[in-house]
Amino acid sequence: MLSDILKKHSNELLRPLGVFMGRIGIRPNNLTFLGLALTMAAAWQLHAAAILPGVALLLLAGLADGGDGLLARSAGQTSVRGGFLDALTDRYSDSLLFGALLLGGWLVPLPQAPGISGEAWALAALIGALLTSYARAAAERLGISQQAVGLVERPERIILLALGLAGGELAGDPALWATGTLALLALLGNLTVVQRLVHFWRNASEV
C-alpha cells in the first residue's frame, strides 16, 4: 500500500525536518488543525467548482496531515491523545471533501452508467472512505491487525482525487473527470472495506 511505503521512507528521509520543527516549537497538533483548516478551504473551493485552487489547497492539507505524524515520531511527541485527534480530524476532512463535491451541484452522470448521478458516486466514495477507517479501527480493537490490508487509505484517496480533478480541469471537462474519479474512489474504497472484512474473518478465530 502506498501509504505504508510513504510512512516507511518518510521517517528516514524527513526525520531532520521533524526534529527541526519540534525544536522551534511546532507541535503535531498544530499541523493537525492546520490540515483541517486547509481542507475546509479546499472543500469551499471545490464546492464552487474552483478546481485548481481547491486542488492546491487539498495537496497542502495532505502535506500538513502527513506532517503531524512525521513530527510526532521524529521529535518523540507521539501520544494517545494526538493519535485520536488525528484520526478524528481525518474523518471530518473526508466528510468535508466528499460532501462539498456532493452538494456542489456540478457533477454529472457517467456515460457508462447514466442512471447513477454524480452525487450518488460522491456519496458512495464518502461511505467507502469512512468505512475503510472504521473497519480497521473495529478489527484492531478486537485484536486483528489491519496493517497493509486493502487497496487505498487516505493518502491514496487524496492523490487520486487531486489527479482526477486537476486532469479534468486541464482536459476541459472537470465535471466528467471529477465524477469518474469519485466513481473510482467509490469502487476502490468499498473494495478495501471488503478486503478488511475478509482479512478479519479469516484471522478472527486465531484470537
pLDDT value of position 22: 64
- In this prediction, residue 5 has a pLDDT band, given cuts at 50, 70 and 90, of low
Terminus-to-terminus CA distance in the chain, angstroms? Answer: 25
Residue-range domains of the chain with CATH = 2-206 (1.20.120.1760)
Name the residues annotated as catalytic: 90
Q: Where do runs of H (alpha helix) occur along the chain?
A: 2-13, 15-23, 28-47, 51-74, 80-103, 118-141, 154-171, 174-203
Q: CA dist 17 to 21, 25, 67, 112, 194, Å?
A: 6, 13, 10, 46, 37
Output the pLDDT for position 132.
95
In this structure, are residues 3 and 155 in contact, taking their beta carbons and an 8 Å threshold?
yes
Instruction: Give tens-digit pLDDT for 166-197.
Output: 999 999 999 999 999 999 999 999 999 999 99
Mean residue pLDDT across the chain: 88
Lowest mean pLDDT among 64-73, 76-85, 89-98: 64-73
Q: What is the pTM of this model?
A: 0.88
Give the side-chain half-sphere CA count within 13 A for 169: 15
29: confidence class by pLDDT, cuts 50, 70, 90: confident
In this model, does residue 147 exceed pLDDT 70?
yes
pLDDT tier at 65 (50, 70, 90 boundaries)?
Answer: confident
11 or 109: which leads in pLDDT:
109
pLDDT band at 51 (very low <50, low <70, confident <90, very high): very high
